[in-house]
Chains A and B, each alone.
Chain A
Amino acid sequence: MATEYETVIGLEVHVELATKTKIFCGCSTAFGAEPNTQTCPVCTGMPGSLPVLNRQVLEYAIAVGLATNCEITRYAKFDRKNYFYPDNPQNYQISQLYLPICRNGGVEIETEEGGVKIVGIHEIHMEEDAGKLIHDDWEDCSLVDYNRSGVPLIEIVSEPDMRSAEEVIAYLEKLRLLIQYLGASDCKLQEGSMRADVNLSVREVGAKEFGTRTEMKNLNSFKAIARAIEGETQRQIDLIESGEKVVQETRRWDDVKGESYAMRSKEDAQDYRYFPDPDLVPVAVSDEMLDEIRAKQPEFRTEKMKRYKEEFDIPDYDIEIITGSKHMADLFEAATALCGQPKKVSNWLMGETLRLMKEREIEAEDLRFSPENLAKLVALTDSKAINSSVAKEVFEAMFEENVDPEKYVEEKGLKTVNDEGALRGVIEKVIAENPRSVEDYHNGKEKAIGFLVGQTMKAMKGKADPAMVNQMLKELL
C-alpha cells in the first residue's frame, strides 16, 4: 500500500503598510513615481544618514497584532539583518529578530469540512522594504531604483499549522480582510503590497517529527500559491520515495513553467549576523499607547455582519458579500446613510457592481465610485426621474469614472419624460404604425402590449417610465 503523506505549511506574509511616508525617513511611499525621485540620504544608505521611526508604522503593527490576538511586546527593538544585495542600499535591512513587536497570536479559519481551526501566529515584526531591480538587456546589467527602499512592511510569521492549499488561502484571506478593515494596507498580491513565502515540508501521516522544509518565494497570486504548494508537495514526495533527501533551501517559484528552482549561490552564506541596531532606540509600549490603539480598532467583519442583520433588512447572502470587503462595506454604509435605502444600495452592489467587477476583473478594493454618487443614483430611480435601464447606463458611467449621476443625466438628457401630453402623442403614433399588434391585443393576446411598450420606449429613446407607458397604452387601446 502506498504511503500517505501530509503537507505541513507555515507562511511568512509581508504586508506593505499604508503610511504616507517610509519607515525611517520622510520620503513619500506613493506608487508609480519616476525612479529614485522618492529618495533621500536615509533610504539610499548615504554615509552619515540615520533612521528615525515613523510612529504610524508602530501603530499599524500593534493594531494588526491586536486584531490577530497577539501579545504586544512592551519593550521591542530593531535589529540589523546583514546581507549584500544592490536593492538593499545599506547592505543591511533594519528588521526585528530578538524582540519583535507582536508574538504568540492566531486567527481562526474555516476548514474545508466546515469546521474551525486556529492558525497560530509566531510573531509579527516591522521592517523596511528593499528597492527595485530592473534588468537592462541592452547593457546586460541591472538598474536600481530606491523608491521602494524603506517602505514599511510588517512580516507575519505563522506557525506550521496549515495542511493544504485551501487552508493557506483561507488564512491569507482572513489576514487580508483583517488588515484591510484596519486600513493598515490594501493587501494586493498582484501589486506586491501583500507577499507570501511558503515554508513547506511533508511527512508520513501520523509522524510526529516535521520533515525538512523548503521556503518558496515569488508567489504573487492565490492561484500561484495553490499551484506552488501542489508542485512542491509532489517534488518532496518524489524525492523521499526515490530515497533522496529534501534539502533545506530557498526556492523560487516560476508560475509560467509551473516549477520551482533552488536559489543557491556560494556567495550567499545565509548568515545574517543580526544585532540590535545602535542607531535606533528601543520602543516601549505603554498601557496608554495600547489603550489608544485599541480604542481606534474598527468594527471587524463578524461584528459588522451581526450589526447589519439587526439594522438592515437585507439578505444574509448580501451581508456576506458586502462585508467580505472593507471598501464595499464602507460604500454600503455611507451610501445607505445618505439615501436611507439599504435594500436598494445593496441591490446595486450585488447586481451591477459584482457583474462589472467580474467583467473588468477588478477587486472590490479598487471600486472607484463614491457613496455620494451611489446614493444620488438611488434617489434618481426612487423619484422615477430615470427608469431602470437608464439607471444601469448611468451606473456604468459611474463605475468607470465616478461621474455625478445627477449631472450625467442632465447633460445626456436622460430624464424620463413624465409629460402625459408628449407621451400620448408618441403612443398614438406607435398604435397607428402597428395595427397588427393592436389587433392581436384586441384578440386577447396580452403579450402584444409588451411589443408596443418596447416600440414606445424606443421612440422615447428610453427616457420614459415603462409602467406609465403600459398604463397609458391600455387606456388608449
Chain B
Amino acid sequence: MSIIDMTAAELAAAIREGKTTAVDAAEAMLERIEEQDKLYNCYVTVDAEGALAQARAVQAKIEAGELTGRLAGVPVAIKDNMCTAGLLTTCSSKILYNFVPTYTAEAVRNLQKAGAVLLGKTNMDEFAMGSTTETSAYGVTKNPWNTEHVPGGSSGGSAAAVAAKECFYALGSDTGGSIRQPASYCGTVGMKPTYGTVSRYGLIAYGSSLDQIGPLTRDVTDCAAVLEVIASHDEKDSTSIERQDTDFTAALIDDVKGMRIGIPNDYFGDGLDGEVKEAVLAAAKTLEDKGAVVERFDLSLVEYAIPTYYTIAAAEASSNLERFDGIKYGYRTKEYAGLHNMYKKSRSEGFGEEVKRRIMLGSFVLSSGYYDAYYLKALRVKALIKKAFDEAFAKYDVILGPVAPTTAPRLGSSLADPIKMYLGDIYTIAVNLAGLPGISLPCGTDRNGLPIGLQLIGDCFQEKKLIRAAYTYERARGAFPTAEKEVG
C-alpha cells in the first residue's frame, strides 16, 4: 500500500515499525499538495519547510522511543481559524491577511505533543460563516469528488484535504454543522464533540457558546484516536470540562446489540432528498441487523433550531468580531479621516458580505429595545430544544438521521439566497445549541456519485456510544470508495 492511501493509524504503525518515516510521509503529502491543490484549493497556507523540519524532529523522537502515540509522525492539516505560532492564520478573511499568531491553539498543541506534523492551514468559509467554503477571501475550495460541487463548510478545506488525500487527517471546527456537513459532502468521517471537551483556547471565535473543535478523518478509528489526543481539560478555557472518559479508542467495538437508536420523524420530512433518505434509512437497517433496537420518534422543535441558532450565533459573532479593528493586527485601510472612519473602512473592506450580514444582524438583535424580543427569546427556545433532547436521550442511546438534506450542491448555487442556505443546516444545528456530540460518516453515494453522510447524535459526554455505533456500522458497510477514483 502506498503511504498516501494509509489511514493515520496505519501510517503511525508503519512508522513505529520502521517501514516508513515521518519524513517520507510528510514529503509524500507535500508532493501531492504541490501536484493537485491548484485544482482543489484545500489550503490557504502550506508550510513545506516547517513540516519537513517537524517531521525530522518527530522522527528522531520516535526512534529515540520518546514518542510512541497513535498519531506520532502523521501529517495533519489545520483549519485556518486555529492559531498557530509563527504560521499565518487568516480565518480565510482579508481582515487577517497578514496575521501571524504568537501562540498556538491548545488543541493543536495537544497534537504537536503527540508528534503530529503540521502541513498547513486549510481553507474555510470566512470566520466559519457559511456552508460551502465559498465565502473565503482566498478562493473557493472544490469538492474532490466532483470539482463542480462545493466541499461544504465551513471546514470545507479540511474535509476536502482529507478526501483528496492531501493530509491524513485534519482538524475542523463546528458551530452549526461545520465539521459534520463538509465531512458528509466529502465522504469523510467528521465529529463534533460535546461542548467543552476540546479547549477553545486559540480557536478564533465565531459563536463562542457553540464552537467546538473536532477531527475530520478517513475512518472512525482515526476519528477516535484524534479525539483522544485533542480532548483535554484546559485551565485557559473557562468552558473546558474535566473528563475522565477520554480514552475514546476503547470504544472501537464492533457491537451494538441492545443499543437503542431513535430516528426522529422530524428529520425525514419535506426538503430531504430521496436518495439521502434512502441511504440513511438503509444505514439504520444495517445497525438494526447488527442488533440495535431501532425506533422512530418525534423529537419536536426541529424547525425552531435554525432561527434560534442564527440569533445566538450572529449576536455572539457581532461581539467576537469587534476586535478586528485595524489597530492591533490585521488589515487597516490605507486612507481614512479620523478614528471612526478608520474603523468603518477597515472593517467594511476587510470583512466579506456574509460576515457583514451576520454582524449586522447580531448587532441589531442585541441593540436597545430588541434584546428581550430576539436574543432572550432565542435563549429560552434553546432551553426548550435542550429539554427535547434530554427527553429523547432518556429513551435512546443514539439519535440517527441525515447530516444534510442533500448531497454537495453545485458551486455558486447557494450564496444567492442566504435563508435557503441556512436551511441546509437543519439537521446539524440543534446539536450545537444543546452542546451535544455528533458524528458524520459516509453511508452511500447519490446518482451523481457524490457521497451521502449519516449522522449519529449522542447525549452529552456520550461520544463513546457514537464511536461504537459508527465503528460497527463502518465495519458492516465495508470499504467506502475514495474521491480520487471518481475524478481520476
Touching chains A and B, CB distance < 8 Å: yes
Seen from chain A, the residues whose Cβ lies within 8 Å of a Cβ on chain B are: 41, 44-53, 80, 82, 84, 86, 89-92, 144, 265, 267, 271, 273-275, 278-281
B interface residues, how many (CB within 8 angstroms)? 44
Partner of A50, one of B96, B200, B339: B200
Residues of A within 8 A of B205 (CB): 47-48, 279
Is the Cβ of B323 less than 8 Å from the Cβ of A52? no
Tell me if B325 counts as interface (CB < 8 A to partner A). yes
Is the Cβ of A84 less than 8 Å from the Cβ of B322? yes
Is the Cβ of A80 less than 8 Å from the Cβ of B319? yes
Partner of A52, one of B83, B105, B236, B371: B236
Residues of A within 8 A of B324 (CB): 47
User: In the complex the two chains form, what is the Cα distance from A473 to B343 in whole Å?
Assistant: 86
Instruction: Tell me if A's interface is mostly helix, strand, loop or mixed.
Output: loop
- Closest chain B residue, CB of each to CB of A141: B339
User: In the complex the two chains form, what is the Cα distance from A51 to B91 in whole Å?
Assistant: 21
- Closest chain B residue, CB of each to CB of A24: B238
Is the Cβ of A52 less than 8 Å from the Cβ of B343? no
Residues of B within 8 A of A86 (CB): 325, 327, 339
Tell me if B82 counts as interface (CB < 8 A to partner A). yes
Residues of B within 8 A of A267 (CB): 340
Residues of A within 8 A of B204 (CB): 47-48
Is the Cβ of A279 less than 8 Å from the Cβ of B322? no
Is the Cβ of A273 less than 8 Å from the Cβ of B366? yes
Is the Cβ of B366 less than 8 Å from the Cβ of A48? no
Tell me if B47 counts as interface (CB < 8 A to partner A). no
Is the Cβ of A280 less than 8 Å from the Cβ of B238? yes
Residues of A within 8 A of B96 (CB): 47
Is the Cβ of A48 less than 8 Å from the Cβ of B323? no
Residues of B within 8 A of A47 (CB): 83, 89, 91, 96, 99, 101, 204-205, 323-324, 329
Tell me if B433 counts as interface (CB < 8 A to partner A). no
User: In the complex the two chains form, what is the Cα distance from A279 to B238 in whole Å?
Assistant: 7
Tell me if B363 counts as interface (CB < 8 A to partner A). yes
Is the Cβ of B209 less than 8 Å from the Cβ of A92? no
Residues of A within 8 A of B82 (CB): 48
Interface string of B77-102 (1 = CB under 8 A from A): 00000110000010100001001011
With A47-B96, A48-B203 as contacts: A275 and B319 at CB distance below 8 Å: yes
Residues of B within 8 A of A44 (CB): 328
Tell me if B297 counts as interface (CB < 8 A to partner A). no
Interface string of B174-200 (1 = CB under 8 A from A): 000000000000000000000000001
Is the Cβ of A271 less than 8 Å from the Cβ of B325? no
Tell me if B391 counts as interface (CB < 8 A to partner A). no
Q: Which of B235, B316, B319 has its CB near the most chain A CB atoms (within 10 A)?
A: B319
21 A-B Cβ contacts within 8 A?
Answer: A45-B323, A47-B83, A47-B96, A47-B101, A47-B205, A47-B323, A48-B105, A48-B200, A48-B203, A50-B200, A52-B235, A52-B236, A80-B319, A86-B327, A89-B323, A89-B327, A91-B323, A144-B327, A271-B367, A271-B368, A273-B368
With A48-B105, A89-B328 as contacts: A275 and B366 at CB distance below 8 Å: yes
Is the Cβ of B83 less than 8 Å from the Cβ of A273? no
Is the Cβ of B101 less than 8 Å from the Cβ of A46? yes
Residues of A within 8 A of B286 (CB): none
Tell me if B201 counts as interface (CB < 8 A to partner A). yes
- Least distance between A220 CB and chain B CB atoms (Å): 24
Partner of A48, one of B101, B318, B367: B101
User: In the complex the two chains form, what is the Cα distance from A472 to B102 in whole Å?
Assistant: 80
User: In the complex the two chains form, what is the Cα distance from A265 to B96 in whole Å?
Assistant: 29
Residues of A within 8 A of B40 (CB): none
Residues of A within 8 A of B208 (CB): 278-279
Is the Cβ of B366 less than 8 Å from the Cβ of A50? no
With A45-B323, A86-B339 as contacts: A52 and B238 at CB distance below 8 Å: yes
Tell me if B202 counts as interface (CB < 8 A to partner A). yes
Residues of A within 8 A of B83 (CB): 47-48
- Least distance between A49 CB and chain B CB atoms (Å): 7
User: In the complex the two chains form, what is the Cα distance from A46 to B99 in whole Å?
Assistant: 10
With A50-B200, A50-B201 as contacts: A82 and B102 at CB distance below 8 Å: no
Residues of A within 8 A of B469 (CB): none
- Closest chain B residue, CB of each to CB of A83: B322
Tell me if B239 counts as interface (CB < 8 A to partner A). yes
Besides A48-B205, A267-B340, 19 new A-B residue pairs in contact (Cβ under 8 A), listed by A number: A41-B103, A44-B328, A46-B102, A46-B103, A48-B83, A48-B203, A48-B204, A50-B200, A86-B339, A89-B323, A92-B322, A265-B340, A273-B319, A273-B367, A274-B371, A275-B315, A278-B316, A279-B205, A279-B238
- Closest chain B residue, CB of each to CB of A146: B328
4 closest Cβ pairs, A-B complex: A91-B322, A273-B366, A278-B209, A278-B208
Is the Cβ of B322 less than 8 Å from the Cβ of A90? yes
Tell me if B145 counts as interface (CB < 8 A to partner A). no
User: In the complex the two chains form, what is the Cα distance from A47 to B82 in whole Å?
Assistant: 9
Residues of A within 8 A of B89 (CB): 47
Residues of B within 8 A of A50 (CB): 200-201, 236-238
Residues of A within 8 A of B238 (CB): 50-53, 279-281
Residues of A within 8 A of B371 (CB): 273-275
Instruction: List residues of B (436-487) whose CB comes within 8 Å of A's CBs.
Output: none
- Least distance between B83 CB and chain A CB atoms (Å): 5
Residues of A within 8 A of B368 (CB): 271, 273
User: In the complex the two chains form, what is the Cα distance from A89 to B239 in whole Å?
Assistant: 22
Is the Cβ of B102 less than 8 Å from the Cβ of A41? yes
Tell me if B375 counts as interface (CB < 8 A to partner A). yes
Interface string of B346-368 (1 = CB under 8 A from A): 00000000000000000100111
Partner of A49, one of B201, B315, B363: B201
- Least distance between A135 CB and chain B CB atoms (Å): 13
- Least distance between A140 CB and chain B CB atoms (Å): 11
Partner of B366, one of A53, A82, A91: A82
Residues of A within 8 A of B99 (CB): 47
Residues of B within 8 A of A52 (CB): 235-238
User: In the complex the two chains form, what is the Cα distance from A279 to B207 in whole Å?
Assistant: 10
Is the Cβ of B323 less than 8 Å from the Cβ of A90? yes
With A271-B367, A279-B208 as contacts: A82 and B201 at CB distance below 8 Å: no
User: In the complex the two chains form, what is the Cα distance from A356 to B436 in whole Å?
Assistant: 67
- Least distance between B257 CB and chain A CB atoms (Å): 39
